[in-house]
Amino acid sequence: MNNRILIAEDEARISAFVEKGLRSNGFVTTVVADGLSAYEQARVGGCALLILDLGLPVCDGFTVLRKLREARVAIPVVILTARDSVSDVVAGLEGGADDYISKPFAFEELLARVRLRLRGEGAPEATLLRVGDLALDLRTRRAHVDGRVAELSSREFALAEVFLRNPDQVLTREQLLSRVWGFDYDPGSNIVDVYVRYLRRKVGAGRVETIRGVGYRLRA
Ligand code: CA
C-alpha cells in the first residue's frame, strides 16, 4: 500500500505538526513549501494523497489544484483553509478537492479525513475500536460501555479515540493536547484534565489512570 502523503504548507510550524502526527501513525511524508513544488511533486506520482494549503507562495493552492486536474492527475486532495472562509471551501471543492479542513485543526480531525480519503485504496480501516467492554464505533461516533450507549461530545470522542488507539500506554498532556485540540492550544491549559474528568464520568472513572506528573493511561 502506498502510504506517502504530500504536504504542501509554507508555515513550518504547521507542516512539522502534520508531518510528526502522520509519521507516528505509520505514514511516510514529503513536505513542500510552495505551490509550484507541490504541483511538480504531485505530478511525478508516488504520493497517495495531497494535503494542500491554499495560501502558498509562487502559486496558490487553487492554481495547484486546477493545474493538477487539468493534467488529469487524480491524486486525492484535502485542502487546508483559514477558518470561516466559506467561499474558499466552495471554490476548493468545485476545483476538484475531495475534502477540506479549517485551521486551526486538531490532528485527529485531519487524520480521520486522510484515512477516509485513502480508504478503498489501502487496507480497510477498522470501524470499531475496542478495549475490554469499552468500544467506539468510528462510523456512528458512538461509544459503548458495558453494552450500553454513552453519549460523548465530539471532543470527548476524539479523546477516547486516542486512548483506545493506544491502550495501556502513558500519554502525556502535550500528546493529548496536540492530538485532540491541535497546535494552537496553550500548553499551560488544563483542558486535558477537564476533559479526562468528563470522559471518566461517562465511561467509568477506573478506566483512565492518572500518571502523576506525566499524563494518563487507558487500562487495557
Ligand atoms: Ca500558508
Give me ligand 1 centre to Cα 60, in Å.
9
DSSP state, residue 123: S
Whole-angstrom distance, CA of residue 90 vs CA of residue 83: 13
Q: What is the distance between the alpha carbons of residues 33 and 58, in angstroms, rounded to a whole number? A: 9
Q: Which of 121, 147, 181 is the C-terminal boundary of a domain?
A: 121
The rounded distance, in Å, linking the Cα atoms of 73 and 45 is 8
Q: 114: CA distance to ligand 1 center in Å?
A: 19
Closest CA to 38 of 14, 17, 19, 62: 62
Task: Give the structural domain span for 177.
Answer: 128-218
* DSSP one-letter code for 126: P
Contact 178, 21 (CB under 8 A): yes
Q: Do 115 and 134 have their domain in common? A: no
Do 143 and 208 lie in one domain? The reply is: yes
Separation of CA 35 and ligand 1 centre (Å): 10
User: From the CA of 67, how far away is ligand 1's center (Å)?
Assistant: 19
Q: Can you tell me the distance from the alpha carbon of 30 to that of 176, in angstroms, rounded to the nearest whole number? A: 25
User: CA-to-CA distance for 101 and 109, rounded, in angstroms?
Assistant: 8
Domain total in the chain = 2
**141 Ramachandran zone, left/alpha/beta (phi>0; psi -120 to 50):** left
Decide: pTM greater than 0.85: no
Whole-number Å distance, alpha carbon 15 to ligand 1 midpoint, is 10
The reported pLDDT for the residue numbered 94 is 80
Question: Do the Cβ atoms of 113 and 78 come closer than 8 Å?
Answer: yes
Separation of 168 CA from ligand 1 center, angstroms?
38
Q: Among 82, 101, 121, identify where a domain stops.
A: 121
The reported pLDDT for the residue numbered 184 is 65
Pair (109, 164) in one structural domain:
no
Same domain assignment for residues 108 and 194: no
Question: What spacing in Å lies between the alpha carbon of 66 and ligand 1's midpoint?
Answer: 18
Residues 62 and 152 in one domain: no
Please give the distance of CA 56 from its chain centroid, rounded to a whole number.
21
- The per-residue pLDDT for 183 is 64
Question: Is the domain of 112 the same as that of 133?
Answer: no
**Whats the size of the chain, residue-wise?**
220
Distance, in Å, from the CA atom of 182 to the CA atom of 91, rounded to the nearest integer, reads: 25
Compute, in angstroms, the gap from residue 41 CA to the centroid of ligand 1.
Answer: 18
Buried b / exposed e over 43-59, threshold 16 CB at 10 Å, is: eeeebbbbbbbbbbeeb
Residue 170 forms beta bridges with which residues? 217
Is the domain of 168 the same as that of 71? Answer: no
Q: Are 64 and 44 in contact (CB under 8 A)?
A: no
CATH number of the domain at 61, please: 3.40.50.2300
Across the chain, which has 220 residues, the per-10-residue mean pLDDT values are 89 94 90 96 91 94 93 91 74 84 88 84 65 88 89 91 92 87 74 95 94 93
CA of 53 to the centre of ligand 1 (A): 6
Name beta bridge partners: 40. none
**The pLDDT value given to residue 120:** 55
pLDDT at 122: 47
C-alpha cell at 201: 464520568
Instruction: Output the CA 198–ligand 1 centroid distance in Å.
Output: 35
Distance (angstroms) between ligand 1 centre and the Cα of 12 equals 9
